[in-house]
Amino acid sequence: FPVTIGYKQGVFKVEEVLNYNLNNYDEYKKPVEMKYQWTTDAFSELTGSSILFKYGQLIGKQIELYDEIKRSNPIDFYFPHDHKVRVEMRIPEGYAAKGFEGKNRSYAYKDAAGNELFGIDVKVYAQDDKIIMEIFEYYARSEYSPEVYAQFRDVINAAADINAYTLLLEKK
Q: Looking at the predicted structure, is the pLDDT value of residue 156 above 60?
A: yes
Helical H runs in the chain? 25-28, 149-161
Q: Looking at the predicted structure, is the pLDDT value of residue 1 above 60?
A: no
pLDDT value, residue 131:
96
* pTM higher than the cut 0.85: no
Mean predicted lDDT score pLDDT of the chain: 88
Side chain identity, residue 114: G
71 falls in which pLDDT band (50, 70, 90)?
confident
Q: Looking at the predicted structure, is the pLDDT value of residue 53 above 70?
A: yes
Q: Looking at the predicted structure, is the pLDDT value of residue 15 above 90?
A: no
Q: What does the DSSP assignment read for 103-143?
A: --EEEEEE-TTS-EEEEEEEEEEEETTEEEEEEEEEE--SE
6 falls in which pLDDT band (50, 70, 90)?
low
